Every structure is written in structure tokens, then in C-alpha cells.
Chains A and B, each alone.
Chain A
Amino acid sequence: MKHGRAFWLFVGPFAIGLLVFVYVPIGWSLLLSFFEARNTVTPTEFVGLRNYADMLTDQPFLSSLGTFSVFAAFIVPLTFVLALALALLVNQISFLQGFFRSVFFLPTACSYVVASLVWKLSIFNGVRFGLANTVLGWFGAEPVAWTVSTSPPWYWLVLVTLRLWLQLGFYLILFIAGLQRIPQHLYEAAWIDGAKPGWQTLRYITLPQLRTTSVAVVLLLLIAAYQAFDEFYNVLGTDRGYPPFARPPLIYLYYTALGSGGQDFGHGSAGAVILTLLIAGVTLLQGRVITR
């Protein structure tokens, strides 16, 4: 295809931005992962695959990968089912549909950092006048240190509700768009053939027709789960570092590569490449499974 001047005028700035701020750093990171690169981004000491070997035997990194595989296995289906259920409900009502769509979508516009601070400091703070503890107080319960206690691990409640609140709206919109693309005549034909509205049409018409949307949603959810950073960092991180539990791989890598007390770009980059390969692998696998 031949492109005119207008094409390059419009695409050029973005393509340059993409190249300079996305592809060059990715390539550079790949390069750094094969070098001993402490406190430098122009390393000279080639170490081959040593950084990879180190990261693959590094207990905290492996445990963070494990934790977040479990986290993904939990949060992906949960968000998927809730978003789909909400979309079906919102799609069915005949009045105020736009209103409900907006209301559920609104949290997506909220910054992760702001939402994290609201969750941590006002809803789930540990003192007796925190919102959740006030409610508990009505029933005579003792205040709970939501983000501190590890047995039971209440911090997951804080993090999962936060993530659901922030994410649901976006996937809800994707599902509604998918639902509205299903031709009405399919349902009509099914009814004529004797299918009952409700479970039967959902199972045999709606869900199969939503397949492409579902694949996209699961893919985005999976990537988002492995790339968790913002709300974890803001809810559980302190100025003394990040606790060893519920530590997303990206946070561990962030401290490795950029933590105060020495930067280690070699190991950080190697970890990032491993994480990327893991996400790509899991994504391809789930794509295979769903579209089979």
C-alpha cells in the first residue's frame, strides 16, 4: 500500500513516540538482561544467561510469579462472570440503560492511585473510625487491621474489591458492545424452534455469539492480573519497602532494578523478560483453549 503525506503527518509523531518510548526501551532492556548492569545503562560486562539463571532460582521472584498465577486464576473468572452478569442485566432493562451504563463505567475513569488511597485510608484503615471498622462496630466486633493482618489475609479483600470496582465497568462495556452485536433474529428463530428464554438461549445463543468478545476480555484480564502494580504498591507498600506477601512480580522487579540502595538493571531486565514470556505463553494457551 502506498501512503501519502497526510498519512505520515498523522501517523509519524505517534510512530516516533512508539519507537522512542516503547520499542527502544524494550530492546534496550533485552540487551541489559545479558549484562552485569549495576548502576549503569551502558554496561560492558557480558554475562550471558547468568541473570536469567539467577532470577529463575530466586525464591522471592518465583514465589511472586506463583502468587500471581493464583491471583490470575482467581480474579480473571471472577471479573469475567461479574462483568458478564452485569452486562446481561444492564442490556435487558428498557429504561435508564444509559444511566446504568455510565454509573458502572464511571470508576474506570478513577485513578488507581486515588482509589487505592481511598480504600486504604478511609474505607479499610485499621483504626476504630475507619468505614469498615465503624460498620463492624455496630455489631460489636473489634476493629480489624485490614491491610496489616496476614492471618486471616484480609488484604486480599481490600485488593480484590478495589480491583473489581476499578475494572468491572470497562469489561461491562466490552460485553454490552458484544451483546448488542448479536442479531435479534437469532433469538426469534430460537423461540420459534421452542427454545425457552433464559438459560437455554443464554447457553446456546448468547454465549457462543460472545466468543470473540470473551477471548478479548480474558486476554486483557490475564495481562492486567500479571501486570498488577499500582493498587498493590499503594495499598501495601510503605516507605520501608514492600512486604513479602501479595508481592506482584512487577513490584519485585521494580525494587530490584530501581530500589534505593543500588540499581540492578541486569537482573531487573531478565525478570521482566521472563515475565513477558510467561504472559505471552499463558495468553497463547488460553487463546488456543477458548477458540478451539
Chain B
Amino acid sequence: MISRRRLLSLAGASALLAACGSNTGRGGNGQGLKQWYHAYGEPGVQQAVERYAKAYPKIPIDVQWNPGDYDSKLATSLLSDGGPDVFESTLQISSVRANQVVPLDDVFGDAKSDFAESILATHTVDGKVYGVPQAVDMQMLFYRKSLLAQAGVQPPSTVDELIDAARRLTRDGVKGLFAGNDGGGGVLGGPALWSAGLDYVRDHQVGFDDPLAAQAISKLRELYGSGGLLLGAVKDWAEPDAFTQGLVAMQWTGLWAVPAVQKALGDDFGVLPFPKLGSSGSPSVPVGAFGAMVNAKSKRVDEAKEFVRWLWVERTDYQEDFNLSYGFHIPPRKSISAKASKLTTGAAADAVKFVRDNAKASNPPDWTSVMRTAFNDAVSRVVRDGAPADQELRGAAGKVRDELKRLYG
């Protein structure tokens, strides 16, 4: 009896929720194109994108702001006929294969060469571009200059130096490095591969089926075991709180944290890419960019493409405003980022240089969730449980190979 009552009340509750949910669609006369954004944290972005949309002269645009789990919501809506016409997202090969997005190569025109290649690559599958990059985000290593000086530690330029620095900077209740509450396996797995000159996937082949990869991932285990990592912080790596509160001397976080760090620490900080492993590898920073995309199920694909062209290719003034007036992003177009005065000094200038010289796609389109789970599981077992790296990575490589075979034949 109880269970039936609970079932019924649950059903009632979901009916109520559904009723609420259906009310969030577009308003107005139903003539407009639907454009979706995820909820940016910085104040002013929502007003800005609504302002851009209003300025579009040809047709009305209904901007929908989506707080909460944007990825799931978008993915679900793209399955139905009620999805947006234009939306922002990162590109995944599964959406291309399921014909959910349309190629936008003709939207770029002459401007294509003005977009940074490493960024454009994250929106390209099988030679076609499916998203117009809106704003570049990247991750890097922040370090506290004064704490390094006190401990007599140089900013690390190899992975071994990083481990050594984390160990030596751990004193007086301050830990050396914070790289996420999972012990670094989540955010540093990619950078560790790149530090050895490897990658997730390369030319449709597994990119880390190599003894060097085992060596690189074992370094993360060494880092975890060094005692120099902060673990279980209140806010995770994406927030600079552990760094600004003086709990750590170094933290792996993103470009977006620069304003908060600057406010808290003034000039007492510097930034670095993830260092190289040895002579064969190179330093790296993970980059990614939301791109504007067009829903293939839209009844007005051409109008939607024209709007994307107008907003993200033609109106360079809006791109500059969107990237630089609110949070802290790098404009994906070289001509804009080159003349942005905010990006010519300090940590921001370093970040621009890292993106130019050391950019790696944090989330390449053909790195699917199956591959990611297999790789992250392997790295987590190596880092946290001390499992043998070569064996774990071989297992993950097998899964990735199967998945690549499914994708590319």
C-alpha cells in the first residue's frame, strides 16, 4: 500500500514539474529563432547576449538562458522537435554522426583563417566545421611567487621539478599543490600525456598506447604520493579559493580565475603551462571553446546560419565585448585578441602566449564518453590505488581502440 501511494504521489509530482517545465519555452509571437546559452557565472553576460539578439535586424531572436545542467538539457532537447535553432556547445562526434548539427564551413567566409587553428580543430569532424568558436577558455598552473621565493623553489619547468616543488612547498600547514579533489587524476591526465608528447587520440588511432604514457601517468602517482597535494578542499579545482586563501602554494585552475586571484593576491602570483616530462615532450595548456551551432532539426536552418554568421563572424565588436567585458576569456579570433589591451600584460598575456604555443584540445570531438570513462578509470586507479600504469593504460587503450573502430571503421 505504501509503495503504491508513493508511486502515485511521485507521478503527481512529476506531472506538476512537467507543467512547470513546459512554460519555459519561447514567448512572443512564435516568429523568432530560438537561441540557447548555458548560464554564464559572470554578471552582465545575459544582458549582453540579449542585447546582441535584439540588434539583429532581420528576424526576432528569442534568447533562452539555461541555468543548471545545460549539457543534459541540450542533449535531450536535440532529440526532440522542440529544441533550439541556434545553441552553444562543444562539438562531439556523436552529434555529427546522429545528424544533429549542420556544417558551418560556408558561414566563415574569408574570416576562417583569422580563427586560431587549435580552437577551430575542436569544432571540426571529418574536415567539416560545425561550430563558430565564441570564447576560448584554458587551464594553467598558478603559483604564489612569495611562497616559492621563501622556500627557494624555482617555477617548475619539468614534471619532476613540479613534484619536487609540491613536496618542498608543503610546510607550516600550507600544501604544495591543489589539482582537484580527486588527487589530480581528473584534470591532469591529459596534460600528463601531452607532457610526454602523446595525446588522447591521434589520426583516428589511440594516442597513448606507448610506454612513455605509463611513465607520464606514473608521475601523477608520484605526485599524489608525495604528500604535497591538497585533497578534499571545500571548493574544487575550478575555483581558486584554496589558492587565494593560502591553503596551497600552487593550484591548477583556469583563466577564468585570474580576476579573483588578482583581487586577492595582487601581483604575488604567476602562471605556467603544465611542464614537459623530459626531452621529448612539451609544456601544454588544455583549451576549449563553446561554439555557436545550428540544430539540424530546425525548420529554418538557413536563417539560423545567417544569424550565426552575423553574430559570431561579422559583428567583431560583439565578440570583443562578449570575451573581454564580463569574465575573462580569450577571443578566438587572432585579430581581436591581438589588439585587446586587457590581454597584453601579466598573467593574461602569459595565457595568450600559452594558447598560441602550447594549446591542446581539452575535449576533442572524437574523445567520446566511453573513451573518457575508460581513460579516467585507468588514471584514477593508477593515481589513487597505485595500480601498475602500463597494465591499466593497455586496458583503456583496448576500449578506446574498439570505440575508434566503431567510429571510423
Contact = CB atoms under 8 A, between A and B. Distances in A.
Nearest to B8: A14
Interface string A248-269: 0000000110111111100000
Contacts of A101: none
Nearest to A146: B232
A60 B385 contact: no
Interface stretch (A79-87, A120-128, A187-195, A274-282): A120-128
B98 A240 contact: no
A217 B71 CA distance: 38
A162 to B, nearest CB: 15
Contacts of B93: 262
Interface string B9-20: 011101100100
B233 A127 contact: yes
Contacts of B173: 128
B11 A149 contact: no
A22 B4 CA distance: 12
Interface stretch (A34-42, A88-96, A104-112, A224-232): A34-42
A260 B309 CA distance: 27
B149 interface: no
A13 interface: yes
B373 A241 contact: yes
A38 B94 contact: yes
B401 interface: no
B368 A262 contact: yes
Given A17-B11, A127-B234, A259-B369, A240 B182 contact: yes
A149 B231 contact: yes
A238 to B, nearest CB: 6
Contact of A22 (B7, B18, B94, B181): B7
B369 A238 contact: no
A241 B377 CA distance: 9
B377 A244 contact: yes
A290 B235 CA distance: 46
A11 to B, nearest CB: 9
A262 B71 CA distance: 11
Contacts of A126: 181, 230-233
B72 A13 contact: no
Nearest to B363: A261
Interface in B2-42: 2, 7-8, 10-12, 14-15, 18
Contact of B11 (A14, A40, A122, A263): A14
Contacts of A116: none
A20 B14 CA distance: 10
Contacts of A256: 369-370
A124 B234 CA distance: 10
B97 A38 contact: yes
A45 interface: no
Contact of A259 (B12, B97, B234, B373): B373
A145 interface: yes
A240 B232 contact: no
Contacts of B380: 243-245
A21 interface: yes
Interface string A10-32: 00011011101110000000000
Judged by DSSP, the binding face of A is loop
B92 interface: yes
B234 A121 contact: yes
A260 B89 CA distance: 11
B372 interface: yes
Contacts of B233: 125-127
B236 A239 contact: yes
A262 B94 contact: yes
A261 B366 CA distance: 8
B180 A14 contact: no
Contacts of A243: 182, 377, 380, 384
Nearest to B245: A127
B116 interface: no
B8 A238 contact: no
B215 interface: no
A9 to B, nearest CB: 14
A243 B186 CA distance: 9
Nearest to B233: A127
A25 to B, nearest CB: 10
Contacts of A260: 71-72, 75, 92, 369
Interface string B167-207: 00000010000001111001100000000000000000000
Interface string A125-155: 1111010000000000000011111110000
B247 interface: yes
Interface in A27-74: 38-41, 60
A76 to B, nearest CB: 17
A261 B258 CA distance: 28
Nearest to A20: B15
B20 to A, nearest CB: 14
A239 B231 contact: no
A126 B231 CA distance: 6
B104 to A, nearest CB: 19
A266 B187 CA distance: 29
A60 B10 CA distance: 31
Contacts of B370: 256, 261-262, 264
Contact of A147 (B15, B92, B232): B232
14 contacts: A16-B15, A17-B15, A21-B11, A126-B232, A145-B232, A150-B385, A238-B236, A240-B180, A240-B376, A244-B376, A259-B372, A260-B75, A261-B370, A263-B94
Interface of A: 13-14, 16-18, 20-22, 38-41, 60, 121-122, 124-128, 130, 145-151, 216, 238-241, 243-245, 255-256, 258-264
Given A22-B10, A240-B187, 6 more contacts: A16-B15, A18-B8, A21-B18, A127-B242, A128-B173, A256-B369
Interchain residue pairs A-B with the least CB separation, the first 4:
A126-B232, A240-B186, A145-B231, A262-B94
